[in-house]
Structure 1
Amino acid sequence: MTQTERAAAFHDLHDDLLVLPNCWDAASAAVIQHAGAKALATSSAAVAWSLGAQDGNMLDRGLMLEHLQRICAVAKVPVSCDVEGGFGDSAADLAETTRLVIEAGAVGVNLEDAFDGALRPADEAADRVRVVREAAEAAGVNLYLNARTDGYLLGAADFDDAVARAAAYLDAGASGIFVPGVTDLDEVTRLTDAIDAPVNILTGPGAPAIPALKKAGAWRVSAGSSLAGAIFGHVERATRELLEVGTYDELAGPRSWGEMNSLFG
């Protein structure tokens, strides 16, 4: 499948509910793909942790791209990349990030409208969406641009602002809108009714089940960093059992050496 075909396929997946158990390296991508995921999407937090960095626009772009290239190399399905705030404040930096992500093999991106714990002005954030769209067009790829608005995530939930930002981002070239930080089904329904594009909801422990989110109008559901957090938590539990008890119960039911090895090559 060519990159053009993968981009078209990724867009088409948003015609129905798309569930994304987010990956962070080639191994997690291969396992998630083998389990039946129709697409792969990176979690910026999980990628950063796996590389020894904090989340929150702290990771070096070159390191992120190396990881993305490895993920795309094992992928047989479309790949979307979380580019956080774009790895640079200038339009030139943002355009270059877009070009490099596409060059690595991705056909989608998430772009945040917050930086340093605060929302960018809406017109500035919309301009940045426009930069990404124009860079993707220059690269000849119909990138799926998932524009993220972080008001709810920052604890400053403002329905009217989220909807206004969504409209501005869609006018600037966004393909869909990501509203992390909201899982209340009534609020999800209000948002999906008011936003004229696929709405992405961030899920995890304590959130409504995926069928309920679909009924509320969500067309894309992401696990974000919660899958990586669960895996790393299991690693800690298994390690403590080995070190403190000397038993192996937490190691029961793993993928065997042969099963893991068969996912590559």
Structure 2
Amino acid sequence: MTTLSEKAAAFLELHRPGDPVILPTVWDAWSARLVEQAGFAGVTVGSHPLADSLGRSDGEGMSFAEALGRVREITAAVQIPVSLDIESGYGLEPKQLVDGLIEAGVVGLNIEDTVHSEGGRLREAQEHADFVGALRRSADDAGVHLVVNARTDLFLRGIGADADRLDRAVARLRLAAEAGADVLYPVGFHDPETLRRLCDELPLPVNAVAFPEEGDRGALAAAGVARVSFGPFLQRALTGTATELLERWR
């Protein structure tokens, strides 16, 4: 039987710049099984679609306990690696987060720098790196190398001047890399030149977000991306299709 530690190591090896692993973003056991049956190597559990499925709002409108309750159902339903978006940590200590993830059978996490429990402030760059470092140490102490995907919301939220935003994002994510991140996530939709620069200038594999109905794996690979997820957009696309079907019966 594959141990959680072995599964985490195998998950990390999937992240290859220029040959990105596609990790469709799911929200329950049904959607995770759908992805596994389609032949994908892993899944991400997104906070936005997960919160929607629970009748909660994104931005830590659900609790960590609620998220873990659903993710346990997912890890029990599929054999492929599961990574969970833990938003900004729900106001919990890193050890609490890591212990909960490991108990639930999760092998990776996203951690963002918007602190929802404190009015949506952005963590300072070193503060975010320190949180990443504490997550890494807690995982190492537990004997499971959780794949830490360190995210910054500088682009998503349009924080600061446009002229130096890329440089600030790179500096911020480099600190996270030094602290023990495995993957870096400058979340947002970037033009090809910006994405290529991010992949060139960042020292670790880069996660990009894509629309499942429009994204181009080849273009993302050419830019140097190592990981692709869908955020809330797979659920949103399926919602559109379901709405069309239901309209026929109104």
Normalised by the length of structure 2, the TM-score is 0.92
1:56 aligns with 2:63: no
Match in the other structure for 1:5:
6
CA distance 1:20–1:192, shift in 2 (3 Å): same
Which of 186, 189, 193 is the matching residue for 1:179?
186
Q: How does 1:237-252 map to 2 (within 5 A)?
A: 237-243=244-250
Q: What does the per-residue CA deviation read over 1:233-259, in whole Å, with 9 as the maximum and x for residues that have no partner?
A: 22222222211xxxxxxxxxxxxxxxx
> 1:35 — aligned with what?
38
TM-score, scaled relative to structure 1: 0.87
RMSD over aligned Cα atoms: 1.5
> CA, structure 1 residues 186+206, in 2 after alignment: closer, same or farther (shift >3 Å)?
farther
Alpha-carbon distance between aligned partners in 1 of 2:63 and 2:247, rounded to the nearest angstrom: 32
SS at match of 2:26: coil
Give unmatched runs, 5+ long, in structure 1. Answer: 244-265
**What stretches of structure 2 of length at least 5 have no aligned partner?**
none
Alpha carbons 1:118, 1:154 under 8 Å: kept: no
The answer as to whether partners of 1:183 and 1:202 remain within 8 angstroms in 2 is: no
Which residue in 2 is equivalent to 1:235? Answer: 242
Q: Secondary structure at the match of 2:110?
A: strand
Q: CA deviation at 1:26?
A: 0.4
Q: CA deviation at 1:76?
A: 1.0
1:193 deviates by 0.5
- Which has the larger displacement, 70-79 or 205-214? 205-214
SS in 2 for 1:242: coil
Return the offset for 1:208.
5.0
Q: Which runs of 4+ in 1 moved over 4 A?
A: 205-208
Match of 2:27 in 1: 24
Q: What is aligned with 2:230?
A: 223
Matches within 5 A, 1:146-165: 146-156=149-159, 158-165=165-172
SS of corresponding position for 1:177:
strand
Q: Alignment identity in percent?
A: 39
Cα offsets for 1:62-83 (capped at 9, x unmatched): 1110111010001211111110
- Residue number in structure 1 paired with 2:147: 144
* Paired residues of 1:179 and 1:202 also in contact (CA < 8 A): no
With over 3 angstroms needed to count, the CA separation of the structure-2 counterparts of 1:62 and 1:30, relative to structure 1, is same
Bigger radius of gyration: 1
Residue correspondences, number: 240
Instruction: Give the match for residue 111 of structure 1.
Output: 111
